[in-house]
Structure 1
Amino acid sequence: MEKLKPTLKNMTLVLVGVAVVVGFILAYVNHVTEGPIAEKAKATLAQGIKDVMKVDGIQVTKEDTVKTNVDGKDLTYIVHETSDKSGKPVGAAVESTTTGFGGDLKVLVGFDHDGKITGYTILESSETPGLGAKAEKWFQSTADGGKGGKSCVIGLSPKDGELKVSKDGGQVDAITASTITSRAFLKAINEAYAAYCKQNTDGTSGASKQENKKG
């Protein structure tokens, strides 16, 4: 068989052929992995909702997409309304994404009907592994082991005022040497709360349609 001459045309044909084959391979790999990745993300979210709401037998009763405009940017939040095993509404878990030191920071925040934070978990983080791990734990309890630190956000409510780090005149101690990440985390919580309020009919607190029906 005669060897193809290394002309521009022949080299172009070879490159196109390689590109087509690689394209098919990538499409196949994407098709094979797409399902498992989606299932894993779904399971992670479901477990996250249980963790942040801290209610036995938690159930998601409704999911709402809330769009807001923050600093000139159109942002989208997912609000997961929840109830306990008896069917009583207990608040909502909100997916909120903001930009940290190393990139996007996606947080799931739980709020009760009074707008108080019941818990949080970090779903995705482009921060360095060390910063991401610190943020996951830092704001769950006092940074100094309960000796007067103010790093814990559990039980606080943005309804009482926007959460800020101490350096900015707020009430929350930032992660040591990581003020930017701390600001981003609190911004995600504040925006999650704003989305939660917008999703509810009274627009002022975590108290929603259930309270309005009582009135």
Structure 2
Amino acid sequence: MGKKLESSFKNMVLVLFLVTLISSAAVGVVNSFTSGLIEKVQIEKQTQAIRAVVPTFDNDPMTEKYTVKPSENEEEVEFYPAKQNGELVGTAIKTYTNDGFGGKIELMVGFTPDGTIYNYSVLSHKETPGLGSKMDTWFVKGAKGDITGKTPGTKGLQVSKDGGDVDAITAATISSRAFLDAVNRAAKALEKDTKQK
């Protein structure tokens, strides 16, 4: 039988250091194996979102990505131009709002070249399940809050409670306002964009 380690402060610190070192090394190894896969999954999710929000295209919008600042005090939003035979057929814009009931909401909103909303995809949110989380389907074509075919322009879209013409999600007006804030941010950036003009 091996010799028992004396229980002293020095030995406890040494054991704690070794446990921490081994744990850190294990986390590092797992991270190195999974980081590439996680990045690949995120890129694929974003590519699918682009395909869902703009008309059919034959270029690679991910490689033609650029950013636009909607206004001086806002973060940049990402533009993904979709082209068919070299001609712009739509622009997917990765936009955001920090005003959601549960915090930040990220969307991919697709616009036709004239600034009309073609479609959208919710990339991430922390809204209340069964209420604000309904934004995935509430604003799509044919639904009660349908925003497709609308042109926000500089005025932007608003829920009917605020004098606009978009029906808010039942019992989730804050989430609806936040959703439209993200859409309006994308529309404002589209108006400022000089590459498409």
**Same fold? TM cut 0.5:** yes
Distance verdict in 2 for CA 1:122–1:69, change over 3 Å: same
Q: How is 1:9-88 mapped onto 2 (pairs within 5 angstroms)?
A: 9-55=10-56, 57=58, 59-60=60-61, 62-69=64-71, 72=73, 74-84=74-84, 86-88=85-87
The structural deviation recorded for 1:177 is 0.5
CA–CA distance in structure 2, aligned partners of residues 192 and 6 of structure 1: 63
The structural deviation recorded for 1:58 is 5.9
Pair 1:164 & 2:164 matched: no
Give unmatched runs, 5+ long, in structure 1: 144-148, 202-207, 210-215
CA–CA distance in structure 2, aligned partners of residues 57 and 18 of structure 1: 53
CA–CA distance in structure 1, aligned partners of residues 192 and 67 of structure 2: 10
Q: CA RMSD for the aligned pairs?
A: 2.0
Does structure 1 retain, via aligned residues, the 8 Å contact 2:55–2:90?
no
CA–CA distance in structure 1, aligned partners of residues 167 and 186 of structure 2: 20
Does structure 2 retain, via aligned residues, the 8 Å contact 1:125–1:132?
no
Query: Could you tell me the TM-score, scaled by structure 2's length?
Result: 0.89
CA–CA distance in structure 2, aligned partners of residues 81 and 56 of structure 1: 9
What code does the residue aligned with 2:24 have?
Answer: G
Pair 1:182 & 2:181 matched: no
CA–CA distance in structure 1, aligned partners of residues 109 and 146 of structure 2: 14
Does structure 2 retain, via aligned residues, the 8 Å contact 1:138–1:175?
yes
Distance verdict in 2 for CA 1:190–1:36, change over 3 Å: same
What code does the residue aligned with 2:96 have?
Answer: T
SS for the counterpart of 2:165 is coil
Identity of aligned residues (%): 39
CA–CA distance in structure 2, aligned partners of residues 5 and 30 of structure 1: 36
**Count of matched residue pairs:** 194
Query: Could you tell me the TM-score, scaled by structure 1's length?
Result: 0.82
CA–CA distance in structure 1, aligned partners of residues 153 and 70 of structure 2: 18
Q: How is 1:110-189 mapped onto 2 (pairs within 5 angstroms)?
A: 110-131=110-131, 133-143=133-143, 149=144, 151-159=145-153, 161-189=155-183
Distance verdict in 2 for CA 1:80–1:170, change over 3 Å: same
Distance verdict in 2 for CA 1:30–1:116, change over 3 Å: same
Pair 1:4 & 2:8 matched: no
CA–CA distance in structure 1, aligned partners of residues 22 and 69 of structure 2: 41
Distance verdict in 2 for CA 1:69–1:10, change over 3 Å: farther
Q: Counterpart in 2 of 1:204? A: none
Give unmatched runs, 5+ long, in structure 2: none
Distance verdict in 2 for CA 1:27–1:10, change over 3 Å: same
Distance verdict in 2 for CA 1:196–1:160, change over 3 Å: closer
Does structure 2 retain, via aligned residues, the 8 Å contact 1:79–1:199?
no
Does structure 2 retain, via aligned residues, the 8 Å contact 1:163–1:171?
yes
SS for the counterpart of 2:76 is strand
What code does the residue aligned with 1:118 have?
Answer: Y
